[in-house]
């Protein structure tokens, strides 16, 4: 019942149901868990004993008291499971059921470090187009950026596999952060802004990885144009993040050498998937904060790419700070990325709004 503004009461039909939103994606190697509950304001005081069961479960899932949890193996498949809740109400057993779809996000079988490039530059060095330095604001600008993305050459399958690996690892970072916040909150209220932001980040990263995975395996897709734009935007974000990581590590090594300290193993200039995933996730997190929860996946990725480009074009600071903060995940905070050294820019032809992806020295086979 709800009191009306003009007086009186509004009565709505009451339906007892299972509450709680299960995670829609389970990542290989990462524990998936869901604790359902019964939404019943009338029976809150009685606190009935509930027994949860499922007619069928995959081998990696099981019920432990009131929680459904498990860790999907590499061969796990997406599936639909039925959750049944049985309890006594006024001496009569009642059954509530809900069907939950779980999508498995696989990890690509590529090496943890980016291999050296074996292809020379394919762009003509005689022309140069200045890149836009502002975030996408208007619809026409977004449309031109998407046309620029589609104008780029199609990446190889190996590059797609690298990008999928980075996006999946970044999504795992978001999932772990969200799980830690849920455990710390221990509340049944609506999620706060931070959890909503993490959910949007996880959605963008997961949907993009799935679109690339379908393209790699030549699976049919109902919206090929959107998938192509999404794939191109993902490549730009990941490659820009890889260039940023390379710049950070080169700057750290140069600082040690200038200080008379031999470069250590921790300051290796090798660009790994984990390093790029952290920077990618950080850029996507800040892009979600700027574009809002209703923005599309393409808009979030283009904004993340613009943020990384702006950090690249900033002049180098007087003194470089420690690398620890720059390599730490920042789900909703600032983007502590070091600027890219001017010497690594390649003065070649690139579509308006996009930065070159060939400037990374022997890290990415672009």
pLDDT tens, residue by residue, 118-136: 333 333 333 333 333 333 4
- 7's CB contacts (< 8 A; 6+ apart) are none
State pLDDT tens for residues 179-191: 766 655 544 455 5
Contact by Cβ (8 Å): 93, 87: yes
> For 34-56, b where at least 16 C-beta lie within 10 A, e where not — what string?
bebebebeeeeeeeeeeebebee
Q: Is the pTM of this model over 0.75?
A: no
Q: Give CA angle at 362 (356, 364), nearest 5°.
A: 60
| pLDDT digits 0-9 by tens, 43-96 | 554 566 888 899 999 999 999 888 898 888 888 888 999 999 888 777 788 888
Q: Give me the pLDDT at residue 319, please.
A: 45
pLDDT at 346 over 50: no
Structure tokens, 49: 């004993």
CATH code of domain 10-105? 2.60.40.10
Q: Which segment of 22-26, 111-115, 215-219, 284-288 scores lowest on mean pLDDT?
A: 111-115
Average pLDDT over residues 245-264: 80
Sign of CA dihedral 44, 48, 49, 53: negative
CB 67 within 8 A of CB 34: yes
Give every CB contact of residue 15 below 8 A, 6+ residues apart in sequence. none
Domain ranges of the chain: 10-105, 139-344
């Amino acid at each position: 019942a709800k009191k009306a503004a003009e007086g009186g009461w509004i009565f709505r039909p009451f339906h007892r149901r299972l509450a709680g939103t299960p995670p829609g994606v389970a990542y290989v190697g990462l524990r998936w868990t869901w604790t359902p509950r019964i939404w019943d304001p009338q029976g809150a005081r009685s606190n009935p004993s509930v027994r949860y069961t499922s007619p069928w479960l995959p081998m990696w899932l099981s019920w432990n008291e009131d929680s459904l949890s498990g860790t999907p193996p590499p061969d796990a498949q997406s599936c639909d499971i039925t959750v049944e809740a049985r309890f006594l109400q006024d001496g009569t057993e009642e059954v509530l059921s809900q069907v939950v779809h779980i999508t498995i996000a696989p990890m690509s079988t590529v090496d943890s470090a980016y291999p050296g490039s074996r292809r020379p530059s394919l762009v003509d060095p005689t022309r140069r187009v200045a890149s836009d330095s502002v975030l996408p604001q208007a619809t026409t600008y977004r449309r031109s950026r998407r046309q620029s993305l589609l104008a780029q050459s199609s990446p190889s399958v190996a590059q797609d596999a690298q990008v999928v690996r980075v996006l999946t690892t970044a999504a795992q970072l978001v999932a772990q952060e969200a799980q830690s916040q849920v455990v710390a909150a221990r509340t049944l209220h609506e999620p706060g802004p931070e959890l909503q932001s993490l959910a949007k980040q996880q959605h963008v990263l997961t949907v993009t990885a799935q679109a690339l995975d379908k393209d790699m395996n030549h699976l049919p897709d109902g919206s090929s144009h959107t998938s192509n734009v999404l794939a191109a935007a993902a490549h730009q974000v990941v490659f820009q993040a890889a260039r940023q990581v390379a710049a950070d590590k080169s700057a750290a090594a140069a600082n040690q050498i200038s200080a008379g300290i031999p470069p250590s193993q921790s300051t290796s200039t090798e660009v790994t998937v984990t390093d790029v995933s952290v920077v990618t996730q950080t850029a996507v997190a800040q892009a979600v904060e700027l574009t809002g929860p209703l923005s599309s996946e393409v808009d979030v990725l283009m904004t993340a790419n613009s943020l990384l480009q702006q950090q690249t074009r900033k002049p180098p600071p007087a003194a470089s700070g420690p690398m620890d903060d720059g390599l730490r995940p920042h789900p909703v905070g600032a983007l502590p990325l070091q600027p890219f050294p001017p010497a690594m820019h390649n003065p070649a032809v690139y579509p308006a709004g996009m930065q070159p992806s060939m400037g990374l020295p022997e890290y990415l086979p672009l």
